[in-house]
Amino acid sequence: MAALYNKIQGRSLERLAALSDGIFAVAMTLLVLDIHIPLREGIHSEADLLRALCGMAPQWIAYLMSFLTLGIFWAGQQTQLNHLREGDRDLTWIHLGFLFAVTLMPLTTRLLAEFIEFRGVLVLYWLNILLPGVMLYWSWMFAARHALVKEDTPAEVQAAICRRILIAQSLYAFGALLCVVSNYVSIGFIVLVQLNYAIAPRFGRRLG
């Protein structure tokens, strides 16, 4: 009986996509809700307000990075789901692991905003980018091995999905390594990588 249940569980890709959309929407909303605006009591002039807004720079930087990160991962997961003919129990749990990593993004974003000068926090944030990347790669390889990919999906498309994940994660890892030079250099590089994946393909120029 248990074997039969395991065989029929997790077949609906539509339900998985709906759950994913909801979790991404909440995570993205929490990012902006967690930005702390200046206290009214400390603002007495335009100059005070300007200084306070400039002091929020780490929060804006962390918000931009995380929104781009979530947007890229959402697009990546949807691309995979669109090329699958059906799901199964194991694939569903792999994607739930992916969504678990997504739910951690508001937490690591807040830590980065508060302690942006500490390398350990930046490494923790990078791990929060690495984990969903690993889960996405695992899910695609699992789907390919278990014949869950649509039969009309060209081989070059399957290879491109894997290549994109591997190149992106390699660039993120290099960006994280740059924290030995400066956290801001590291963050700047990661943002450039994210902008490449979010915008550059429109102009026919991309890293992977």
CA torsion angle 77 83 88 91 (round to 10): -30
pTM (2 d.p.):
0.86
Comparing 53 with 30, the larger pLDDT belongs to 30
**Average pLDDT for 171-175:** 96
Q: What is the mean pLDDT of the chain?
A: 88
Q: How confident is the model at residue 3 (pLDDT cuts 50, 70, 90)?
A: low
Look at the block and give the residue holding tokens 């990919």.
Answer: 149
pLDDT at 53: 79
pLDDT over 70 (residue 201): no
Tell me the residue type at 77.
Q
pLDDT over 80 (residue 11): no
Please state which of the ranges 51-60, 103-112, 127-136, 190-199 shows the lowest mean pLDDT: 51-60
